């Protein structure tokens, strides 16, 4: 864990926290509504990359989009 970023969530874990599908999380990242850290993976075909979403970013997304309607993840 990188101390400045806090816990890092995979796309699957972030989808569970946000209670949406994995494709929805990828769509939010692609639109720039949710920020992530991308790590390239070597080998294989296509766009092999690891995307991790910092806990602070999920908190920011909750506050910006749900006005405190849902619980904070921290």
CA triple 56-37-2, angle to 5 deg: 60
Q: In 3D, which of 72, 44, 41 has the Cα closest to residue 58?
A: 72
Per the domain annotation, does 60 fall within a domain?
A: yes
Per the domain annotation, does 12 fall within a domain?
A: yes
Q: Answer whether residue 70 shows pLDDT above 60.
A: no
Per the domain annotation, does 53 fall within a domain?
A: yes
pLDDT at 15: 94
Count of structural domains, the chain: 1
Q: Answer whether residue 54 shows pLDDT above 90.
A: yes
More confident site: 65 or 35: 35
Per the domain annotation, does 14 fall within a domain?
A: yes
pLDDT at 69: 57
What is the tens place of the pLDDT at every residue in 5-53? 789 999 999 999 988 999 999 999 999 999 999 887 776 666 677 899 9
Domain that holds residue 42: 8-66
Beta bridge mates, 38: 51
pLDDT at 43: 67
């Amino acid at each position: 864990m990188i101390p400045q970023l806090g816990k890092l969530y995979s796309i699957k874990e972030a989808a569970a926290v946000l209670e949406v599908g994995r494709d929805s999380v990828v769509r939010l990242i692609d639109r720039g509504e949710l920020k992530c850290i991308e790590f390239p993976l070597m080998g294989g075909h296509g766009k092999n990359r690891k995307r991790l979403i910092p806990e602070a970013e999920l908190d920011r997304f909750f506050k910006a989009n749900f006005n405190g309607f849902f619980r904070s993840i921290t």
